[in-house]
Amino acid sequence: MLNVISADHEGVPATDRGLAYGDGLFETIRMSGQRAVLRRYHLDRLATDARRLGIVVDYAELDRELTNATSRLAPIDADRPWILKLILTRGSGGRGYRPPEPSETRLIVSAAEMPPIPDTDSVVARTASFPLIVNSRLAGIKTLNRLEQVMASREFTGDEWELIMRNAHGDLVEGTRTNLIARVKDEWITPPVSAIAVAGVMRQYAMECLVASGETVIERSLTPDPGSLPGFRGLYLLNSVFGVVAVGSLDSVDLPVDGTLATICHPLKTLE
């Protein structure tokens, strides 16, 4: 049985394991009225990653509660974009870190204003000094434990739109809130899931769109200076709220801006 809490009406128990240990997952979903962008992708990831963590929930429950939440939280202006956040935790209980058996899965739902989308063709990015070290057993899972991103985000100065994190080898891995994909010659390169903290649903959708368009997509590391790669044509940030955002400057170095990906990949077409 899924225990649902509406964050705007009820408090989350202090004993919740998501609060105590980061024992849970979350999804941040762009909405238009009662329709969700990349709805199926978000629900698939949440259900799949819950199974990986041993959190008991099924797709049908999540789908039903998403519908309930949107019908209650959607703004009166039917077309106004907003954000729905779903936090799924193992609930309360257990002794220390050891989870309770059985556990009572908890879903916390909340709404927020849509953040501003960049109004330019490209944005400024900078590499963060705080590294991203990924546990291979948890790679790609959007858990509640995002402390590395929190620490990296403390480096924002206000002059950049995103900070891009590096791994222990210095390779570019992902942004504090985005995945990366670069166009080099006629190929698209994105860091593999094994190297990233969050395998974003926008990343998955973009890769599917590119392959369906006959493009070549390769999962491999991105060097610390991708602009120096022969045939480099652009670096993009991928996020389910913002979509595709081109990087025009990285660490004060101008990068070429190619609008190809934005013409191939239209996440708003996935509204349902």
- Are 258 and 126 within one domain? yes
- Are 98 and 144 within one domain? no
Q: Which residues contact 212 (CB under 8 A, 6 or more apart)?
A: none
- Are 249 and 137 within one domain? yes
> 3-class secondary structure for 86-120?
EEEECCECCECCECCCCCCCEEEEEEEECCCCCCC
Instruction: Tell me how many domains the chain contains.
Output: 2
- Are 253 and 145 within one domain? yes
pLDDT at 1 over 80: no
Containing structural domain, residue 42:
3-113
105: domain CATH number? Answer: 3.30.470.10
Cβ neighbour number for residue 262 with a 10 Å cutoff: 14
State residue 125's pLDDT score. 98
- Are 226 and 127 within one domain? yes
- Are 83 and 146 within one domain? no
By mean pLDDT, which of 51-65, 66-80, 122-136 is the weakest?
Answer: 66-80
pLDDT per residue as tens digits for the range 22-38: 999 999 999 999 999 99
182 SS3 class:
strand
165 near 134, Cβ under 8 Å?
Answer: no
pLDDT at 16 over 90: yes
Of 68, 84, 113, the position where a domain reaches its end is: 113
pLDDT at 78 over 80: no
pLDDT at 259 over 90: no
- Are 29 and 105 within one domain? yes
Q: Tell me the pairing of strands 187-190 and 179-184.
A: antiparallel
**Radius of gyration of the chain measured on its C-alpha atoms:** 19
Question: CA nearest 156: which of 184, 183, 124?
Answer: 124
State residue 7's pLDDT score. 84
Cβ neighbour number for residue 229 with a 10 Å cutoff: 14
- Are 67 and 143 within one domain? no
State residue 119's pLDDT score. 87
Cβ neighbour number for residue 32 with a 10 Å cutoff: 16
Of 72, 92, 113, the position where a domain reaches its end is: 113
255: domain CATH number? Answer: 3.20.10.10
- Are 52 and 154 within one domain? no
Q: pTM value?
A: 0.95
Buried b (16+ CB within 10 A) or exposed e, 165-182: bbbeeebbbbbbbbbbbb
- Are 126 and 254 within one domain? yes
- Per cent of the chain over pLDDT 90 is 92
* Mean pLDDT, range 123-128, rounded to an integer: 98
Structure tokens at 19: 């609060």
Of 113, 140, 167, the position where a domain reaches its end is: 113
Residues 130 and 165: their CA atoms lie apart, in Å, by 7
State residue 167's pLDDT score. 97
